[in-house]
Amino acid sequence: MTSRERVIRVLKFEEVDRLPRQLWALPGVWMFRREEVEEVNRLYPSDIAGPDFRYGKSERARGDCSRAGTYTDAWGCVWIVSEPGVIGEIKEPILDGWAKLDSYKLPWELLDQADLSNVNRSCEQSDKFILAGTEVRPFERMQFLRGTENLLMDLAYGVKEVYRLRDMLHEFFVKEIEMWAETDVDGVQFMDDWGSQNALLISPRLWREFYKPLYKEYCDILRRKGKYVFFHSDGHIEEIYPDLIEIGVNAVNSQLFCMDIEKLGEHYSGKVVFWGELDRQHILPFGSPEDVRRAVRRAADALMKGKRTGVIAQLEWGILDPKENILAAFDEWDKC
């Protein structure tokens, strides 16, 4: 069974020889512990890979996002990085006043000058499941541009400009999704971090009114072209699991250990694939290998219902996580 076959069978809720794997190693781990990452990848190679492509050169990007200091991203947002290898923060949003929206320009050069000429060849030459990453993150991008506190107030009061900003970004993201839908990739992923530790960051009603239609359009475009849809969100997002399933998301990457894993399994196993993950707040950085194994078995028991399917053994490797815990996780998933 090839990696591609393995992932697709799981997405169809068909049993496999072993669960497909995927490791996300954060930048700091690659910077300071590269040999360890390479060792884990040799022992437990991922079944999911990215395509060979290049987006256009940004007109505004400056600096290095992995180094301490400041850098400017392709959208013009200035980030402050306090620790090398750790994603920074935006302290001064560039749309801190709505008057600036009239002159703000989206980074269309990323898409207009994108080179996807090698994508189909890279798909054909690999036996892995090819998953394209995207810029698509409407809620987070609105926070980056507007500032989180400002945006939450905008949403609460329903100011007209927040709808205009949303629609501007949506036009960009639709074009990006359409671009990938025309390639031979197996799946496309997009994201937004929607949860706090124990609830959504906005009301489910407002989420369904303001953001759900955007995600539905992305899913519709991709599903019409036979692509699998992968969605990531941090935090407690149990309330929108039914909505993600309804609009056509195939696989959800969420912080299972922020939620009631058994309840998620009871309600959604067989309806959506659980694309990882393990507890990266407590167990992976501070637990023992046996703690990690118990966490894997708990997730497997809750989500797989006695069948070897419906789960992708994905986990995120943070800078504090011992290599032994990462190895224990993949070893235990292989036994499930």
Q: Does a structural domain hold residue 150?
A: yes
Give the separation between CA 77 and CA 91, rounded to whole angstroms.
Answer: 10
Residues written for the chain? 336
pLDDT for 65 equals 87
Q: Does a structural domain hold residue 128?
A: yes
Q: Does a structural domain hold residue 122?
A: yes
Given a contact cutoff of 8 angstroms between Cβ atoms, the answer to whether 6 and 296 are in contact is no
Q: Does a structural domain hold residue 73?
A: no
In sequence order, the β-bridge partners of residue 317 are 25
Q: Does a structural domain hold residue 299?
A: yes
Q: Does a structural domain hold residue 29?
A: yes
pLDDT-derived band at 121, boundaries 50, 70, 90: very high
Average pLDDT over residues 281-304: 97
pLDDT for 330 equals 98
Cα 221 versus chain centre, distance: 18
Q: What is the pLDDT of residues 177-221, one digit of tens each?
A: 999 999 999 999 999 999 999 999 999 999 999 999 999 999 999
Q: What is the pLDDT of residues 308-319, one digit of tens each?
A: 999 999 999 999
pLDDT for 178 equals 98
Question: What token pair was written down for 259?
Answer: 């939620």
Q: What is the pLDDT of residues 221-232, one digit of tens each?
A: 999 999 999 999
Among residues 110, 103, 99, 177, the alpha carbon closest in space to that of 138 is found at 177
156: number of Cβ within 10 Å: 12
Q: Does a structural domain hold residue 81?
A: no
Give the separation between CA 284 and CA 222, rounded to whole angstroms.
Answer: 34
Question: Structural domain tally of the chain?
Answer: 1
Q: What is the pLDDT of residues 53-80, one digit of tens each?
A: 999 999 999 999 888 999 999 999 999 9
pLDDT-derived band at 291, boundaries 50, 70, 90: very high
Q: Does a structural domain hold residue 71?
A: no
Give the separation between CA 253 and CA 335, rounded to whole angstroms.
Answer: 21
Residue 99 makes CB contacts below 8 A (sequence gap 6+) with none
Among residues 146, 147, 53, 60, the alpha carbon closest in space to that of 100 is found at 146
- Domain CATH number, residue 47: 3.20.20.210
Give the separation between CA 310 and CA 304, rounded to whole angstroms.
Answer: 6
Domain coverage including residue 296: 3-60+93-335
SS3 of residue 314 by DSSP: strand
- Tell whether the model's pLDDT for residue 87 goes beyond 90: no
Q: Chain-wide mean pLDDT for the chain?
A: 97
